[in-house]
Amino acid sequence: MRKPSVFITRRIPEEGIRIVIEHCEVEVSDYDGVLPRETLLKKVRNRDGILCLLTDTIDREVMEAAGPNLRVIANYAVGYNNIDVEEATRRGIMVTNTPGVLTETTADLAWALMMSVARRIVEGDKFVRAGRFRGWEPMLLLGTDVYGATLGIIGFGRIGQAMARRAQGFNMRVLYYDLVRAPFHVERELRAEFRTLPELLQEADFVSIHVPLTKDTYHLIGEKELRMMKKEAYLINTARGPIVDEKALVTALQEGWIRGAALDVFENEPEVEPGLLELDNVVLAPHIGSASYATRAKMAIMAAENLVRALRGEIPPNLVNPEVLKR
C-alpha cells in the first residue's frame, strides 16, 4: 500500500519529523529560509499533505499545484492567516493548527518585552557595552514601574488570560477588551474588568495585543487609537504585525503620543518599518514568541500528529475548518 506523500516546507524539530517519517513518504525542505514561490509550487505537486509554517502563503495557486490528492494542510503555528481556509474547505482539504501549546511561552515573551521597555533594559545594555557607564547616577535611564500599574489586554483568549494571571503577581489592575465577554467566573478569578476598546486605551498604562489577524483586526491600532492612549503608556504586540499600523506607531513614538513600544511581530515581516530601527523607545524582537526548546518541540509533535491522523482518515484534534467534514 502506498504511503502518503508529504512535503514539509522547512526543517522543524526532529520530534515532529520522526512522527511523519514513520507513516509517510516525506521530503523536508533543505532551503535555509522561506521557500521562493516557484520552488514551493514545484515541491507541493502530487502531495497528500503539506506541513507548513506561518511564513508560507498557502493559497489557491498552491492548492491547485498540489493537485487532487491533497487532503491536509498542517500549520506549524497557532494562527493560520497564511492559509486560504475557505478555498481549502471548498476543495475538501483539512486545515490544522497548533493551539494551546505555546500559550505560556508566548505570554512569557510578552511579559519580558513589557518589562524590558518599561525599565529600558535594551537601552541599558547598549549603554554599558558602549563604555558609557560611569557608575550610579540619580537620573540615569529612568523607567516606568510595572508593579501596581494598569494592564490593558486586547484579546482575552488563552494568551490574554495568561497575561492576566501574570499581572496578579505584580498587583496590577487588569482591563480587557474582546468581542466576546469572558464568563463571570473567569473575570473574578483573574480580577479582570471588561472595557470597550476606547476605554481600555484611555485607562491602561500598558496595552498588550493578543487577537488573531483577520480583516476586522487589520490596523486595529492606528493613529486614532494611538492618540487615545496615555502619553506615559506602552504598546506591546506579540500577536501579528498588521494589527498595528507601523507608520502611525513610528509617528506616535517620535512625537510622544505614547512613551514606548515593544514588538515581536511586524507588519511586513521580515522587513521592519525603518523609523522603528532608529528609535530607542521601542524594543524589537524577531518573532520569537514561541521560541523555547520545549514549546517548539511540542508544536512539531502536534503539527505532525494532526497531519498523520488526517491522512489516516481520522479527524485531527486541531481541525480549523470542521465544516470540511460535511462535504
Q: Which residues of 180-202 are buried (b: 16+ CB within 10 A; e: fewer)?
A: eebeeeebeebebeebebeebbe
> Is residue 181 flagged as an active site residue?
no
| CATH T-level topology, domain 5-100+293-326 | Rossmann fold (3.40.50)
For 54-111, write each residue's pLDDT tens digit.
999 999 999 999 999 999 999 999 999 999 999 999 999 999 999 999 999 999 999 9
Predicted pLDDT of residue 326: 85
> Is residue 240 flagged as an active site residue?
yes
pLDDT at 297 over 80: yes
CA distance 179 to 75: 25
pLDDT at 327 over 90: no
- Encoded amino acid at 247, one letter: K
Instruction: Answer whether 250's CB lies under 8 Å from 273's CB.
Output: yes
* Intrachain domains 5-100+293-326 and 103-284 with the same fold: yes
Mean pLDDT on 267-273? 95
pTM of the model: 0.91
For 100-133, write each residue's pLDDT tens digit.
999 999 999 999 999 999 999 999 999 999 999 9
Mean pLDDT of the residues in the chain = 97
Q: Which of 10, 47, 210, 240 is catalytic?
A: 240
CA distance 134 to 251: 33
**What confidence category does residue 2 fall into, taking pLDDT thresholds of 50, 70 and 90?**
confident
For 171-182, write each residue's pLDDT tens digit.
999 999 999 999
> Is residue 259 flagged as an active site residue?
no
**Distance from chain centroid for Cα 62:** 23
Task: Please state which CATH number belongs to domain 103-284.
Answer: 3.40.50.720
Domain spans in the chain, listed from the N-terminal domain onward: 5-100+293-326, 103-284
Q: Which of 195, 259, 287, 296 is catalytic?
A: 287
Predicted pLDDT of residue 139: 97
Q: 68 preceded by cis ω (within 30°)?
A: no
